[in-house]
Amino acid sequence: MKRSSALLIVAPMALVVIALLLLPLLLDKARVLELATAMLREQTGATLVVGGDIGLRLVPRTGVSLEDVSLALPGEDEPTARVRSLRLGLQLVPLLSGKVAIDRLDLEGLDYRVAGGDQADRVDTSVLSDAQLDEYYAQRRRDKAASSNAAGALAIPLALNVATLNVTDSRLRLENAGGGDPTIIELQRFEASDLNLDARPMRLAATVILPREQLQLDMEATLRLDPAQQSVSIEQFALEASGATAQPIRLRASGTADLNRQTADLELSVASGDVRGEGSLVYAALESPAIDADMHFNRFDPAIFALAGPEATSAAGDSPAGGDDPLPLAALRDIDTRATLAIDEALLAGHQLQSLQIQLRALEGVVEVKSLTGEVYGGQLAARATFNGRHNTATLETRGEVRDLDIAAALAGAGTKPLATGQASLDWELQGAGRTRNQLVQALTGPITLQTSQVVLRDIGVEQLLCEAVALTNQETLSASFAADTRFQALEANVQLAAGTATLRALRADLDHIKLTGSGAYTLLDGNFDTTFKARLSPELESLDRACRVSKRLTAIDWPLDCSGNIDGEPGKWCKVDTAAIVKDLSVNEAQRKIEKKAGKLLDKLFN
């Protein structure tokens, strides 16, 4: 009890003594500023200039407040940072000996300028010629090889042994080396506690806004810094990105980073809505690939690319409406990635795919899909492709196959009317070049082979069309009811793409009592088609209707079936039988038969 009473008396007396010892220093604002400026220059090489008021306080915490502060880093004539208000929390004991020791730093209204370098990756590649693009890639490789480690955002606080850093209402300005408006990063808050160089845990939290991208980033992390090894151990890192996509994107990571090599080796997970992904990622700022990822997703959404920046998002976005806008080649050229992806379900260009396995490499505008396998509409897909956007005219090469595709599901995925059911298998080997999506489609060349099974063509009755023509030649009328659809026993075709047109060659189709052969053309962009078939009829066609009986003279001719229209039109109006051609063929065959008959009689007379 006596000890407690003594403390109650001694403590205020001690504070009074300390205050008396510090009073001369606290009254000499210029001296405090001189001490702080000298310490900052000694520890970091930076120059501090104060243009506003200086405030000093002793309680509740000893500190200094500075208004209108500017800071120039070593070797820079112009201030790198300006601060509206700066508050320093000071340690008492060092002040007794005329030294400044900072344990807390609060910045409000920081404006931090990051000067643009001379690296070629800041160039707008969309305005370069092909020769300039080649030099651009070469220069970027040289720059990456020569790059050195830059000071981190925590360099000055760590050098000053500041345990706690708090930044509010601030912004970073990333200057553009090529001119133009800088990139603004708004730093609503940045909190760092337990800052140390002894490999103890440091805790960071920040809210960052990227106005141009309409993106907000909320981040929390626990790190350990080992200055001897120049490494950072990332115990936990959580990031939420919102604003740029319909659903916020949440990312969690752990791993290690090498400050000298500017690399990070991370285990991470990512989520957006019902999309989940996990795997590993290696980032290397000065190496190639810059990103090397091995990820598994339950679903795939291109919005995930928002985490990789606006360039990746632009390159992964949908094609412009109409397809006549330039391809996003400039964004693609800034991606240096190697990835192995496993995706349970994906929606790409409106088509649903499952169990995808993808290996790809993207570098200097070239995206090589080395392997792509999966399921598409019940069929098995295997393909490879190379998209080369290195120069201003992009090229595409692709080959692959699909086995046992569900035709009805594929048509629905393409937004086309349900024209047919059944299964199809395709093989293709295509190449093309262009500066827009439409140009690329128009320029595609190469073969496609098509084989089908159990195909039913909806709303087109081929048997009825041909039976009506047969009944006409028999001068009779059909009495039976015919199916509105057409069932094929077999349907196959060889297709050749060129000049924006798919030319159907050696098209063959078998029905129960009819065999069709033909050729035609389909224009890729507008969906118009024009095909001509030759039908050979069998005597069994009579089983459909008595008026449809086929005599020997009718089986000897080709029955022309013409189909034309637009893929979005009415199927029932597409096809018709050319009866005039049939009558002509019948007349020719009848005349030929009569001539042969007369010739036969004449020969009989001559030899008998």
State pLDDT tens for residues 485-509.
999 999 999 999 999 999 988 889 9
Q: In angstroms, rounded to a whole number, what is the distance separating the alpha carbons of residues 492 and 517?
A: 10
Looking at the predicted structure, is the pLDDT value of residue 404 above 70?
A: yes
Q: Which residue has the higher pLDDT, 229 or 501?
A: 501
> What is the distance between the terminal CA atoms of the chain, rounded to a whole angstrom?
156
In the prediction, which pLDDT does 573 show? 86
State pLDDT tens for residues 283-321.
998 889 999 999 999 988 665 554 454 455 555 554 444
Tokens of 386: 């190379």
Find the helix packing angle between 2-27 and 29-44, rounded to 10°: 90
CB-side neighbour CA atoms (13 Å) of 421 = 6
Q: How many CB atoms lie within 10 A of CB 14?
A: 11
In the prediction, which pLDDT does 97 show? 59
In the prediction, which pLDDT does 5 show? 45
Q: Distance of CA 588 to CAs 86, 533, 539, 555, 579, Å? A: 104, 20, 21, 14, 14
Peptide bond into 289 cis (omega under 30): yes
Nearest to 120 by CA among 329, 330, 305, 310: 330
Looking at the predicted structure, is the pLDDT value of residue 98 above 80?
A: no
Residue 606 φ then ψ, to 5°: -65, -40
Residue 547 φ then ψ, to 5°: -70, -10
In the prediction, which pLDDT does 581 show? 63
In the prediction, which pLDDT does 427 show? 96
Q: Which residue has the higher pLDDT, 216 or 324?
A: 216
Cα 370 from chain centre = 17
Nearest to 216 by CA among 291, 128, 306: 306
- The residue-averaged pLDDT of 26-36 equals 64
Q: Distance of CA 231 to CAs 224, 227, 265, Å? A: 8, 7, 11
Q: In angstroms, rounded to a whole number, what is the distance separating the alpha carbons of residues 576 and 581?
A: 12
Q: Which residue has the higher pLDDT, 158 or 394?
A: 394
Return the DSSP state at 167: E
Q: Are 529 and 567 in contact (CB under 8 A)?
A: yes
State pLDDT tens for residues 409-458.
988 887 788 889 999 999 999 999 999 999 999 999 999 999 999 999 88
Find the helix packing angle between 579-607 and 462-473, rounded to 10°: 50
Alpha-carbon dihedral sign for residues 434, 307, 359, 290 = positive
Residue 59 φ then ψ, to 5°: -125, 155
Q: Which residues in 483-592 belong to E strands, given as ranges?
A: 486-487, 490-498, 501-510, 514-523, 528-537, 559-566, 575-577
Looking at the predicted structure, is the pLDDT value of residue 30 above 80?
A: no
Q: How many CB atoms lie within 10 A of CB 12?
A: 10
Helix, strand or coil, per DSSP, at residue 547: helix
In terms of average pLDDT, the best of 7-21, 85-99, 378-392, 552-566 is 378-392
In the prediction, which pLDDT does 289 show? 92
What does DSSP say about strands 420-434 and 394-406: parallel, antiparallel, or unpaired? Answer: antiparallel
Using left for φ > 0, alpha for ψ between -120 and 50, and beta otherwise, residue 488 falls in beta
Q: What is the DSSP string of 451-487?
A: EEEEEEETT--HHHHHHHHHHHHTT----S---SSEE
Q: Which residue has the higher pLDDT, 371 or 138?
A: 371
Least confident of 122-136, 254-268, 303-317, 470-484: 303-317
In the prediction, which pLDDT does 18 show? 43
Q: Distance of CA 42 to CAs 48, 82, 121, 161, Å? A: 12, 20, 35, 13
Nearest to 36 by CA among 6, 56, 12: 56
- The residue-averaged pLDDT of 100-105 equals 72
Total count of residues recorded for the chain: 608
Q: In this structure, what is the dihedral angle of CA atoms 87, 92, 94, 98, given to the nearest 10 degrees? A: 80
Looking at the predicted structure, is the pLDDT value of residue 397 above 70?
A: yes
What's the one-letter identity of residue 139? Q
Alpha-carbon dihedral sign for residues 411, 417, 418, 424 = negative
Q: pLDDT band at residue 94, thresholds of 50, 70 and 90?
A: low
Q: Which residue has the higher pLDDT, 279 or 38?
A: 279
**What's the mean pLDDT when you consider all of the chain?**
80
What's the one-letter identity of residue 337? T
Nearest to 341 by CA among 291, 403, 377, 395: 291
In the prediction, which pLDDT does 496 show? 94
Peptide bond into 12 cis (omega under 30): no
Share above pLDDT 90 across residues of the chain, in percent, rounded to a whole number: 35
In the prediction, which pLDDT does 319 show? 46
Q: Which residues in 365-445 belong to E strands, given as ranges?
A: 366-376, 379-388, 394-406, 420-434
